[in-house]
Chains A and B, each alone.
Chain A
Amino acid sequence: MKTSVLRPKKWQFAAYLLPGILWYAFIVFVPVIGAAYYSAFDWMGGPKKTFIGLQNYVTLLKDTQFWQSFRNNIYLCIVCLIGQIGIAFFLALMLNSRIVRFKKFHRIVTYFPVTLSAVVIGFIWNMIYDYNYGLLNTFLEAIGLGNLQQAWLSNRALAMFLVCVPLIWQNIGYYLVIILAGFSSIDTSVLEMAEIDGATGFQRARYITIPLIKNTLIVCMTLCISGNMKAFDHIYVMTGGGPGTTTNVMSLYAYQNSFLRYKMGYGSAISIGILILSIGITAICRRLAEGRKGGKEDA
């Protein structure tokens, strides 16, 4: 009886939530709607705008540079899904095992890069890849592989992978924490039982841990894909999309169009394109991941 007196009425709930919702709507939906509106104009910035309907989107569909950037985003997603979540999962398993000592220390060290600014990380890795004084070239020299030394980020075949490495390195800790939280929900007796039954570490991971934290992994995957579809800062600092357009990604391309070429209207159309593609790909991946789970349950 007491609780129902203290419990706020429904409209009170709504009233308390309203400021937050309004604020969120203002900073998230208004810019998106604004971008959608501007994308219908040939607009160079400033007061003069010419309405051109869907012309910007027609251009976008035929823009090979945009689709190259899109392919780079997809590449980034795949490499980071394997790198970030894969390594994070592996580390989480290690941290959960009994042989590893100083678990807290490892967790802090792994999480530390997450707290750094992307710009700082970009600069650090630029120094690592530097041709004359870089850590990587110095290391190769030291171990007698001096013939492998090169201007790393100028290598068109490798550049895209090389800019993925810092992204992976930075975000492992983030997914590690989420996966560890997922692990804590698994009843330890299940794992102990499997161990007594003679299951190897790999078998335990494959048949017990992964199925039980599947939802956590799907959350990680969603975050990873949506994060990498809007990747900008690392690449902006490290290569600016170069050499040429080798490491250009969609958001960088939108920025270049809006602020270097003054095509605000077209830049807005690209942003809307990014939004649609990101939602689409995230939805497809979730459908695939959840679909597989559903199929298994049937079997």
Chain B
Amino acid sequence: MRNKKITSIALAALMAATMVPANVSAEEGVTLSVMHVYTKEEADQGDNTNKIPRDIILGYDEAHDDVTLEISEIQHDDYETKLQALAAADDLPDVFMMKGSWVGNFYKSGLLADITEFVDACEWKDEYRDGLFNGVNIDGTIVGAPTQYSTTTIAFYNTELWEQAGLELPTTWDDVFAAAPKFQEMGITPIAFGNSDKWQYNSSWVSAIAPRITGEDWVNNIIAKDGSASFTDDCFVKFLDFTKTLGTSGYLNPDYATIGHQDASSQFLQGNAAMFIDGYWNVEYIEGNADDEMKEKIALAPLPGFEDGAGDQTSITGGSGWYFAVNSKLEGEELKAAADLILYASGPVMSQEMVNVGLISTCESVAEDTSSFGTVREKFLDLVNAGYPNVEIWDARMDASVIDVMNGQFVEVLAGAVEPADAAAVIQAEYEHVCAQ
């Protein structure tokens, strides 16, 4: 009996002894769990928006002997679901990606580490494009790093069809509505639209069209939640009136509520629609899916404006829709390593590689050789570099629950099922609920 006790104590001691070196070795280097959306499958298909950031993160792991990354790559849609579940369970990885509209919520829930001092000390902080940190800057506290520069509001025109109709490309919505009946006579859908997931109208239309009616100040006040702007203000109801006019005009493809943006894009690429509105992701889609003849015909422009509008009538959205962030549980060396990683992955090294293949990224890098870029990609670079004023991407800057309620109401207004004033009241109620939190 006594022997047994001694043996078990000895075994326990042995076990404890073998555990110590493991701890020591962990102290020598830092291990970080990382979760991102850049999957190997997508990278292998040659999708540069996935391949480049993925390689940058893998390269960081290799270049730093003292840092070990445990990386999980999860496809975009699944990632959203999984990260939300992990956030709810307070079980987030050390380094992860988050959507702009999650930031406020995650911050209030205490999930995000403050990386302000690391950003201030970052040697390339001045190389970032303007305003990319706006979405993760909460009253001076920076809680993330941008992963992209995204332009979500671009009008794509089929110039051949506009010529056939004997029309100039439109600059105002009045032009569009005047041209639409002509296209319908030709058997062409005037505007291709796919809103099955409801974010499309918000991201690619509202973010640019609403400020043309309400003015940019109103939008900024809404984002700032300072109580000086309300969704029931006349200017926003006026924008909803436009939404109703658009939705009930009959100029959109009749199945717009049930098809996605890529289905709509493919209608446009088949020459069945005169214009199409979407974000920068559609540039890559066109490069991958349209034939050369079609690519030549496509013109890119800011969305049409209004003659009696309030804000700038040629603005395009710019900003980061997704950010890298660090788990608030990290401290000391781990926090430092994590902040270093996300700033590296968002910085000029990544940006340069993106720009070299014809993509716009976080820093104002210049491409080394533009000869290999596709036609539409070049047109896109011209558009972004043409100096149109930037406005905010709504679903990257406003609270997720307000955006979700808003998206639902936009669908109703487009269908003519809810009156603009009533929809405004519903959105305002949710906005007030969020402001009160």
A→B interface (CB under 8 Å): 42, 44-48, 126, 129-132, 150-151, 153-154, 156, 239-240, 242-245, 256, 258-264
Contact = CB atoms under 8 A, between A and B. Distances in A.
A242 B88 contact: no
A242 B108 CA distance: 31
Nearest to B106: A46
B110 A47 contact: yes
5 contacts: A46-B110, A48-B110, A129-B258, A151-B254, A245-B412
B105 interface: yes
Given A154-B257, A243-B258, A45 B408 contact: no
Interface stretch (B21-29, B303-311, B399-407): B399-407
Contacts of B408: 244-245
B184 interface: no
B109 A48 contact: yes
B405 A261 contact: yes
A262 B400 contact: yes
A153 B258 contact: yes
Nearest to A154: B257
B255 A154 contact: yes
B88 A264 contact: yes
Contact of A132 (B256, B267, B400, B437): B267
Given A156-B415, A245-B408, A259 B258 contact: no
A154 B197 contact: no
Contacts of B259: 131
B254 A44 contact: no
Contacts of B85: 259
B237 to A, nearest CB: 19
Interface string B385-419: 00000000000000011001100100110010100
B90 interface: yes
B81 interface: yes
Given A45-B88, A132-B267, A156-B417, A243 B257 contact: yes
A270 to B, nearest CB: 14
Contacts of A260: 400-401, 404
A48 B105 CA distance: 11
Contact of A239 (B105, B256, B258, B437): B258
B245 interface: no
A231 to B, nearest CB: 19
Contacts of A262: 84, 102, 105, 400-401
A263 B404 CA distance: 12
Nearest to B111: A46
Interface string B92-114: 00000000001001101111000
A151 B256 CA distance: 9
A242 to B, nearest CB: 6
Nearest to A47: B90
A45 B109 contact: yes
B224 interface: no
B396 to A, nearest CB: 15
Given A45-B88, A262-B105, A154 B256 contact: yes
Contacts of B435: none
Nearest to B90: A47
A44 B105 contact: yes
Nearest to A260: B404
B198 interface: yes
A264 B84 CA distance: 11
